[in-house]
Structures are given as C-alpha cells and as structure tokens.
Chains A and B, each alone.
Chain A
Amino acid sequence: NAGVMQNPRHLVRRRGQEARLRCSPMKGHSHVYWYRQLPEEGLKFMVYLQKENIIDESGMPKERFSAEFPKEGPSILRIQQVVRGDSAAYFCASSRGQGALGTDTQYFGPGTRLTVL
C-alpha cells in the first residue's frame, strides 16, 4: 500500500523560472494539505484542498503561488517566477477526511526539496 508520493524529490530552478511540485495522496484519501519548511524553521501550513476545491488557502503567499487538486491526477503546487527565498522543503499530506476532525490523521510524503539558484 503506497504512501503519499511526491515528485520530484529534489528540484533546482533558476530565479524567474516556474516550479511544479506534485503530490499523489494515499489510496482512498480525498484531502490534501501542503506545508513548507524553510531552513531552520518548522513546517508551516500553506493550503488545504479537496478534489476540485480549495478549502483553506490562508497560508499561501498572495502572489506567485497556486495549488490545485483536480478530479483526476495528483495535486500540484505551482510557484511562478521563483526567487531565492522560495528555497525550502515542501511537504504534502493527505487524509481520508472522514470522522471527527482530529481523528482524521494526516499522512505525509517525503517532501520536495526546492533549490533556487
């Protein structure tokens, strides 16, 4: 039973390029979360999506960042015109979305390490 898959595991971009990070949730999971870990910091919530819906994007930077979770295929975190400050580890988590909140455990992927040159 595959866990949460993220690819690529490492991504190098030059300033001004676009970065696309992919997340395939666990089988049977319809909820996806994205978190960012800047160097020397803890994980920070970015966005929470269900299939074809953004539920909570209060942690997303206002510009250049977008996320989607289409009906078919993985969730995509897209960063346009990357800057050096975007260098970080980006983690995706998924959950079933069933049961009372708090008992809906989030399972994390291995992360994508983005380096902006």
Chain B
Amino acid sequence: AQSVTQLDSQVPVFEEAPVELRCNYSSSVSVYLFWYVQYPNQGLQLLLKYLSGSTLVESINGFEAEFNKSQTSFHLRKPSVHISDTAEYFCAVQETSGSRLTFGEGTQLTVNP
C-alpha cells in the first residue's frame, strides 16, 4: 500500500515570491509520481509527472518538481508565483504495476498581491 503526505494544508505567499509545496510518500514498491492542480469549481488537471529518467520534471507554466528517492519526496517549486496560481495542489502516486492513484490531502496555495 502507498501513502502520500502533503506537509502543509495551506500556503499563503505574495505575488512574485518563490514557493515550495512539500510532498512525501511511502511505498514498498516502485511508483510513479504526479502533481495535479485544482482551480475553484473545476476538476483536477495534471501539472507534471515523474515516470523515470531525469529526476527533475517541469510543467509548461513554470512549476518544477524533483524526485528524491532517498528522501521519498517529490516537492513542487516555482521561483516566482502569479495570482493566477492560486489553487489547490494535490500530490499523487501510482504503483508502476497498477492504475489507481493515491492522493495526498492537498495544499491550498493562495497568492496575494
């Protein structure tokens, strides 16, 4: 079984500040790692994913996440946030042999002017 812990339930930051949303996972088998974003009243959208290869993955809107196997972490970062980044962010894992996603409890990122 897997579990995902998102260490911060809420992260308030000012516009143009850097941000890190933390995610740690636990699994006895190999996993794939995902970050999803949920804007108000919308469904979850895939932000980025780690399957294999380079441990640093990037999204098209400036977010990046680094897979750290020794620390079982997959923290999400952005060097300079915009107000439009305000949303809830979910970290998720998936067994490489399975299809279900296991989610963390989410981090609400609020970007203030």
A residues at B contact (CB < 8 Å):
3-4, 6, 31, 33, 35, 40-45, 48, 55-56, 59, 91, 93, 95, 101-111
Give me the 7 closest cross-chain CB pairs, A-B, nearest first.
A102-B32, A108-B43, A42-B105, A108-B44, A42-B103, A45-B100, A43-B103
CB distance from B47 to the nearest CB of A (A): 11
Residue of A nearest to B92 (CB): A43
On chain A, the residues within 8 Å of B98 by CB distance are: 101
Q: Establish whether residues B102 and A108, one from each chain, have CB atoms under 8 Å apart when the complex forms.
A: no
Residue of A nearest to B97 (CB): A101
B90 at the interface (CB under 8 A from A): yes
Q: Establish whether residues B100 and A48, one from each chain, have CB atoms under 8 Å apart when the complex forms.
A: yes
On chain A, the residues within 8 Å of B105 by CB distance are: 40-42
B99 at the interface (CB under 8 A from A): yes
Report how far A77 CA is from B96 CA in the complex, Å. 27
Report how far A105 CA is from B42 CA in the complex, Å. 18
Q: Establish whether residues B101 and A106, one from each chain, have CB atoms under 8 Å apart when the complex forms.
A: yes
On chain B, the residues within 8 Å of A41 by CB distance are: 105
B49 at the interface (CB under 8 A from A): yes
Q: Establish whether residues B44 and A91, one from each chain, have CB atoms under 8 Å apart when the complex forms.
A: yes
Report how far A37 CA is from B107 CA in the complex, Å. 14
Residue of B nearest to A110 (CB): B43
A sample of 24 cross-chain residue pairs with beta-carbon separation below 8 angstroms, ordered by A number, consists of A3-B43, A33-B100, A42-B103, A43-B44, A43-B90, A43-B92, A43-B103, A44-B103, A48-B99, A91-B43, A91-B44, A101-B94, A101-B97, A101-B98, A101-B99, A102-B49, A103-B51, A104-B99, A105-B46, A106-B46, A108-B44, A109-B43, A110-B41, A111-B43
Report how far A14 CA is from B99 CA in the complex, Å. 34
B68 at the interface (CB under 8 A from A): no
On chain A, the residues within 8 Å of B94 by CB distance are: 101-102
Residue of A nearest to B102 (CB): A45
CB distance from B53 to the nearest CB of A (A): 12
On chain B, the residues within 8 Å of A101 by CB distance are: 94, 96-99
Report how far A35 CA is from B43 CA in the complex, Å. 12
On chain B, the residues within 8 Å of A102 by CB distance are: 32, 49, 51, 94, 96
CB distance from A63 to the nearest CB of B (A): 21
